[in-house]
Amino acid sequence: MPFPVSPHAPFPCMLPAVWDLFETHVFPAASTDELFNPYRDRRDDLDVPEAPTHRRDNLRRYLSCFDVPPRLFLLLEAPGPWGCRFSGVPVTSEAQLTDPDFPIGGTATSQKDVPITEYSASIFWRVLQPHFPHFFVWNSLPLHPHDADDPLSIRTPRRSEVRDWHDLLRGVLDALDPDRTVGVGRKGERALDEVGADPTYVRHPSQGGANKFEAGMKSIVAEMDLGT
């Protein structure tokens, strides 16, 4: 069930060009049997009322953290069912957004009694939170890819599905003009390479990759003198 996009939120957006791209390309995109747009749609059995509005607001709170465009751009694959699918913020869980010690505030949108946590999000932010907001993270496919008969599954996006969003990725990169791009996982690396962004590859933290992810990101942060 789609909800209208609210043009206003009770907080500013410090990256207006990026927000405009999201409003134009991401928020209106229709869900399909295998792709769910968390910024537009909700399910009666999974989401609270007005969940898409809350997720757009969460995303806007994320963008409001940036006083200047960040120097480092990280690209992951797609929203997972326990992270961005409900939070609206890439590689971030409901539990993190509702934690007062987390740098981004937000609202939980699932019907769970306790805010959802995500393993990859926990590792990602443990490693990189000291350097926020000197980096920006996004997904090569901003919709949640799932099996047709299981809305809380996660499937590997088809290359054609990722390529459908190359224009958005180019637009975000043009708006941010980062010093360096990193593909977190091979899918993120491939998408950045296909838009000519000359990415560095870092192992995704899931499926046993936590140590390699941490080592790779610590090396990049040190090389860039990214700061805390």
DSSP string over 108-145: --BS-SS----HHHHHHHHHHGGGTTSEEEEESS-SEE
Q: Of 61, 168, 143, which is closest to residue 107 (Cα–Cα)?
A: 61
Please state whether the peptide bond connecting residue 49 to the residue before it is cis, i.e. omega within 30 degrees of 0: no
Which pLDDT belongs to residue 146?
98
pLDDT in tens, 59-91: 999 999 999 999 999 999 999 999 999 999 999
Amino acid 90 reads P
Which pLDDT belongs to residue 11?
66
**Domain 16-223: homologous superfamily in CATH:** Uracil-DNA glycosylase-like domain (3.40.470.10)
Count Cβ neighbours within 10 Å for each residue of 37-55 and write b for 16 or more, e otherwise.
bbbbbbeeebbeeebbbbb
Q: Which residue has the tokens 């390479």?
A: 193
Kindly indicate the confidence band of residue 14, based on its pLDDT and cuts at 50, 70 and 90.
confident
Task: Name the residue ranges covered by the structural domains of the chain.
Answer: 16-223
Which pLDDT belongs to residue 10?
54
Spatial contact of 118 and 80, defined as CB atoms under 8 Å apart = yes
72-76 and 135-139 as β-strands: parallel, antiparallel, unpaired? parallel
